[in-house]
Amino acid sequence: MKKFLLAVLSVLLIASASAGGTIAYLSTQEGYATGNSTANARVKQIEQARNSVGQLVTFAQGQQVFPAVYGANGIALEEDGNKWPVPNDKAWQILDTNTLGVHDKFVTVENKSRNGVYVRNWFAVEGGVGEKGLVHLFCNGAEQGWSYAELGNAEIDGVTYGIVVMTYEKVLEKGKTTPPSLKQFYLDCRAGNFEIASFNGVIDILVITQATNAVDSTDTQSNGPSQVYSMLDAAFGEPKLDNNPWNGRNLWEKEQDSSYAEEGNVITVSTAEQLAAVAERVNGGDSLAGKTVYLANDIDLRNESWTPIGSSVDTPFAGTFDGNGKTVYHLNVKNAAAGLFGYIVNGSVSDLNVDQVELEAAGPAGAIAAYLNGSISDCSVTNAEIKGETAGAVAGITAGNGIDYSDLTYIHSAKVRDAIVSAAKYAGAVAGECGSSVQLGYDGSMSVKANAFVDVDLEVNGSPVATVEAGHGTNAIDPAAITEPIE
């Protein structure tokens, strides 16, 4: 039985037109995958609709949706299209504005990688697809580069969904956005209280985008549809009913318990909810000084808005965070200081990977920490877009603590791959700004080991600048001396 959908990003209120006003919710799961560790494809799934003056805006929650009809006389919309103007010969168009109850939901994919990518959209429509489905999708076709295939019905966690796969049969170049795959949807005219009740009060459309790197985008012959399918199939498998991205996954489950294990001075974190509970504890005033936070599992933050651990200068993190070689995925922060950690003062983070990062800050920004007055060692950052007043892929600002901070504040053995770092003041591949006595790569033991970075673009005030380890600070290791390979 459906309980709670992880990664729900938008909710649409649906009300039945028949007496009784039964309510249902249309939920969309947004996500993406990179196929394998070498793909390094970073994309953003976008959902939009038109506002009252025709401008594209973010798809809004809380809209009432009624079974679709056409014109003032309320002619019922039917799947065969005989009584309403489906532009079958012009599939790129949207439905006639006289069609009431048809709602915009433009799903596009933006390429935020450094290279061209191939993309595929999957849709799971509760109740099935085709003539017997009650929720219908109106999609683009070959004119806009999309192929469409209904694979049939499949059970996802005991619930029947119709599975649709759409593939963009071209290279999506760096910085470009696809035409919409899904454009609109509507509730069938047959949908009444009884039908809505069969969904246990909830109707869901799930959406997932898959992306992988393209071959040389200048070679148009190698980038035809057959190459697109070949590369996507190699990364994710052939699109079949039993290979849908939800197969074998428990989407619907009770909300995870946020209670972490604490024994002595060790806090063990296993879920995103538990990590959020640690953040809440630190942000409430407990710096966790003298305690170790141990990450037992990989954590997926699901692109939901994250409040940094140590979100302000008054509530910093002062403990030890042992990443245990695990990875935190899909970090999304908009905050005065943006990062998995906000302020670290006399604290440390080690052996942690952060992948798929999107940060935006009015102040410092860095994937591991916005402000570092402590240490970061043996950590990696991949597939990141970071914006801040001062920004680095690993840390926004490193600063001393007034004691002997050359030994206490450092970033050591960090690895950065595929990042775009933008700043108003200083931007660096590892740190945006270094304190005057802080040497990147130096850990206080005289065993200098340079940080490593590849495929990092830096911008200051919107203009590209040379890629350097630190945007400001004289003690950073010369990038030319970096020899350690990035695996």
In the chain, what are the domain boundaries? 8-243, 261-481
Report the alpha-carbon distance of residue 179 to residue 15 in Å, rounded.
Answer: 30
Mean pLDDT value of segment 394-403 = 72
What's this model's pTM, rounded to 2 decimal places?
0.72
Residue 35 — pLDDT band, cuts 50, 70, 90? very low
Q: Which two tokens stand for residue 227?
A: 């190459």
Contact 421, 461 (CB under 8 A): no
In this structure, is the dihedral angle defined by the CA atoms of residues 52, 57, 59 and 61, taken in order, positive or negative? negative
CATH of domain 261-481: 2.160.20
Mean pLDDT value of segment 107-131 = 86
274 pLDDT above the threshold of 70:
yes
Task: Quote the percentage of the chain above a pLDDT of 90.
Answer: 36
> SS3 of 122, please?
strand
Which pLDDT does position 194 carry in this prediction?
A: 67
In this structure, is the dihedral angle defined by the CA atoms of residues 94, 96, 98 and 101, taken in order, positive or negative? negative
Report the alpha-carbon distance of residue 238 to residue 383 in Å, rounded.
Answer: 25
Longest dimension (CA), the chain: 82
Which pLDDT does position 83 carry in this prediction?
A: 42
Report the alpha-carbon distance of residue 213 to residue 221 in Å, rounded.
Answer: 16
Match 């012959």 to its residue by tokens.
221
Which pLDDT does position 181 carry in this prediction?
A: 93
Nearest to 319 by CA among 351, 357, 293: 293
The larger pLDDT score, comparing residue 471 to residue 325, is at 325
Q: What is the pLDDT of residues 195-211, one digit of tens each?
A: 666 665 556 778 888 88
434 pLDDT above the threshold of 70:
yes
Which pLDDT does position 298 carry in this prediction?
A: 93
Which pLDDT does position 394 carry in this prediction?
A: 94
Mean pLDDT value of segment 384-412 = 77
